[in-house]
A and B are shown apart, each in its own frame.
Chain A
């Protein structure tokens, strides 16, 4: 196995290469799941619970079945529904309108049960039960510690202690969850908007109780997932059953409201945190008691103590269920939550100690890379111009803040790929990964072309089908570090095989053949054999070599920091992020262009989390009050800051995932910048104008 080429020898990797699927996407001809059309296609829809908690006593579908155009109906899907939006029944009809009409004709008899949508209430012993018959509403819990926390706090000269609260965020991919199911004999072909064709295939086989090789999952293009689309989900199974019943293909796409209710979110977090440090700025102790809700799911834990070194720490966490849709991993699960609380507490403690917040971090951050990144970032954002917190008056208040992040992002050793070289010189690679928007089509092709010293246009990538060799779900920032080493190794193997066959054809030995830039050279005679001629000499034998992921071409573990400059309008309470400086390592950057896109996107996600996004559940009805794109606000064009992104070069570490690492540090950075601007700190996200105005008023009251 050869290492990656030297950076200066690379022609495609580490360069700004435009997407190989770009032309399809800008022309509107890339076919997403939502765009798949099949002969006789029906439209499926799911009837969803209007109650947060109820027994489903009966489901009468007779009127729906009698409606002209309805082709398949599934009665009662489950006996108990546990959130508004839970599955009740389903139909497939010749048009979406008829399917929707059919839903309105289904008569459901519910036994409505008490419910809870507030985690503070849900964790109490006498709370209504989220799931009938359970002893309580508690999910997983964990405890961990190191050192002697009590002693640590005794040594501290200053202590900060607060409850930090973050509400639920919803993934909001623009393409909703959905699939098209088509049975061909016993085999199911399913186009699915998923982050894992292989994972979805395995899950479907289990759910339908049929062999895995009868299921074929296809995801050529998909409109975003951010962690919410690790299939299969109930809609997949419902759609497959409807298609089987109807005997024709069925498309089932969730609408926006369903998307927000039923298929994933980032859990809430409540973290009661205490941190202490000595007067010289050395951290001494950290203690946290936390809880949070993933609705009927889990996963609300947070990786505290985050980033900084505490010789003594103790954490305790409890997941709490409420009657709301299940959480799913969302871009760096747990990390933004940990970051907000930790970075807020760090800033407040620094202020108490009279130490510059950046210096305070540098003193307590054990990561070598980040030590360098802090310097770069501070310079770029002009940290020296940061004003003391709350020292400004007037209408526009400027603030600066900093935050840090870490992530894993290593490769999956099970990943496999096949590289084919055909007698006519054509080259392709098949690998069962998927492009969820990050440019996987392009990096797969780029690695292959780079390795074989061909042009990008000479190679053809095949991805997004579960019939191709196994690759992991696109999650945890593992795609690039899984896929790029594997494709490289398969290409290496194919080239070795090609040279071996060529040696046979030219009656020499492989070590007497060299290769560079589409030309083989017989080193003894000096004869040059161009690529096509060489492939033609194989006597009709195609090369087809499979390889598995190998060590040494990728690694895990990233460090990053971000600096935010915000402007707070004291009249309207509006916070505008003016500038966001990101310094991020991710090993060998495979594609400079798409990497920058990923960092920008991650930052924009942070802005949404800190300033806008908030799932609102009505306490009396359990209904989400803002389940659309107007009332659940995600960042738009007018809220964009100036972006300043620097990749901290550690290419010798090989490829590391980048999707999640930059989605973390800005959360604390933005929140701290707001506190710096107005002199009041927020212990709760999002920092919306109403909250800012109240905070400014409170501060005025306090000082007058």
Chain B
């Protein structure tokens, strides 16, 4: 009774109970009836291609893209930077995570034309010469990868974290990669790898 009042008649408990059906905390479901192929697939071919310039891993690259092409597909298909992966293509899994103007972005959910002029860092750009980045090294040492399909996304999220916060707590590490999904179940080894990388980077100055 008092609980109901506290929450203006809609308590968190009654909301969660109402959601039902086994979907955690998400009241809005996605699919609905479609009536034709046209409706199913929509019109995705845009107007004429445009030229954009990206500063990718320190190199200036000019490319011509259909305005509807995502940054992810442009990097993969036009620049052969296939390290970033497409898994959900709608911002739900983190497999396409890269660093754009110093911030992590989901490249599947950003149009290439919106990245015009931006500094883009991908997994391929983390190495210095032949030397892997400490985060990459620790991912290998701790076996923070299995099939490895999610790995580039996890590494980019981790690198971004350590730039902002060189001594993260375990909780901060978990939070930083909480937007990255891994089906093989590498999470515990990822946490350890990021923790160890932070230590190694401190030692390495």
Contact = CB atoms under 8 A, between A and B. Distances in A.
Contact of B149 (A23, A174, A694): A174
A104 interface: yes
Interface in A622-651: 623-631, 633-638, 640, 643
A21, A436, A625, A627 pick with most chain B CB within 10 angstroms: A625
B82 A35 contact: yes
B85 A34 contact: yes
A102 to B, nearest CB: 9
Interface string B93-128: 101000000000000000000000000001110110
Contact of B185 (A95, A594, A603): A603
Interface in A71-114: 95-98, 100-101, 103-108
B42 to A, nearest CB: 6
Contact of A104 (B38, B77, B93): B38
B82 A597 contact: no
A686 B177 CA distance: 25
Interface string A591-609: 0011011101111110000
B56 interface: no
A26 B136 contact: yes
B195 interface: no
A27 B124 contact: yes
Contacts, number: 267
B69 interface: yes
A264 to B, nearest CB: 13
A437 B184 contact: yes
B11 to A, nearest CB: 9
Contact of B22 (A47, A601, A614): A614
B62 interface: no
Contacts of B45: 97-98, 101
B30 A628 contact: yes
Given A175-B147, A600-B188, A100 B41 contact: yes
Contacts of B83: 27-29
A693 interface: yes
A105 B155 CA distance: 41
A600 B31 contact: no
A213 interface: no
Interface string A125-137: 0000000000000
Contacts of B88: 256, 628-629
Contact of A34 (B17, B30, B86, B180): B86
A325 interface: no
A626 B23 contact: yes
A596 B41 CA distance: 43
B66 interface: yes
A612 B42 CA distance: 31
A359 interface: no
Given A626-B29, A626-B30, A688-B23, A26 B140 contact: yes
B66 to A, nearest CB: 6
A571 B178 contact: no
Interface string B9-52: 00011001111111111100111111111111111111000000
Interface string A1-39: 000000000000000001101110111111110110100
Contact of A50 (B23, B35, B187): B35
A175 B23 contact: no
A95 B140 CA distance: 35
Nearest to A174: B149
Contacts of B19: 689-690
A618 interface: yes
Contacts of B29: 616, 625-626, 631
A622 to B, nearest CB: 9
A397 interface: no
B30 A174 contact: no
Contacts of B151: 25-26
B203 interface: no
Given A27-B123, A623-B32, A630-B26, A437 B148 contact: yes
B23 A604 contact: no
Contacts of A58: none
Contacts of B180: 636-637
Contacts of A256: 87-90
A523 interface: no
Interface stretch (A217-225, A268-276, A367-375, A553-561): A217-225
A103 B41 contact: yes
Contacts of B148: 21, 25-26, 30, 221, 223, 437
A174 B182 contact: yes
B185 A602 contact: yes
Contacts of B40: 48, 50, 103-104
B122 A28 contact: yes
A690 B39 CA distance: 34
B18, B82, B123, B177 pick with most chain A CB within 10 angstroms: B82
Interface residues of A, number: 92
A167 B26 CA distance: 19
A668 B104 CA distance: 39
B18, B24, B127, B178 pick with most chain A CB within 10 angstroms: B24
B158 to A, nearest CB: 11
A621 interface: yes
A573 B20 CA distance: 12
Contacts of A23: 132, 136, 140
B145 A572 contact: no
A29 B124 contact: yes
B59 interface: no
Contacts of B178: 636-638
Nearest to B174: A637
A226 interface: yes
A390 interface: no
Given A625-B29, A688-B22, A19 B123 contact: no
Nearest to A689: B16
Contacts of B54: none
A351 interface: no
B169 interface: no
Nearest to B38: A104
Contact of B183 (A35, A172, A623): A172
Contacts of B81: 28
Nearest to B149: A223
B184 A601 contact: yes
Contacts of A612: 22, 24
B31 A624 contact: yes
Contacts of B127: 27
A280 interface: no
A629 B126 CA distance: 28
A204 B150 CA distance: 29
A224 B85 CA distance: 13
Interface string A237-259: 00000000000000000011000
Contacts of A223: 85, 147-150
Interface string A521-536: 0000000000000000
A221 B85 CA distance: 13
Contacts of B38: 104-105
B39, B92, B146, B180 pick with most chain A CB within 10 angstroms: B146
A91 to B, nearest CB: 10
Nearest to B21: A616
B73 A96 contact: yes
A550 interface: no
Interface in A685-704: 686, 688-691, 693-694, 697
Interface of A: 18-19, 21-23, 25-32, 34-35, 37, 47-48, 50, 95-98, 100-101, 103-108, 167, 172-176, 221-224, 226, 255-256, 436-439, 571-573, 593-594, 596-598, 600-605, 612, 614, 616, 618, 621, 623-631, 633-638, 640, 643, 686, 688-691, 693-694, 697
12 contacts: A25-B145, A27-B127, A97-B45, A101-B45, A256-B90, A597-B185, A625-B30, A626-B31, A631-B29, A636-B187, A638-B174, A689-B24
Closest 7 A/B residue pairs (Cβ): A28-B83, A601-B185, A437-B147, A223-B149, A28-B123, A604-B185, A25-B148
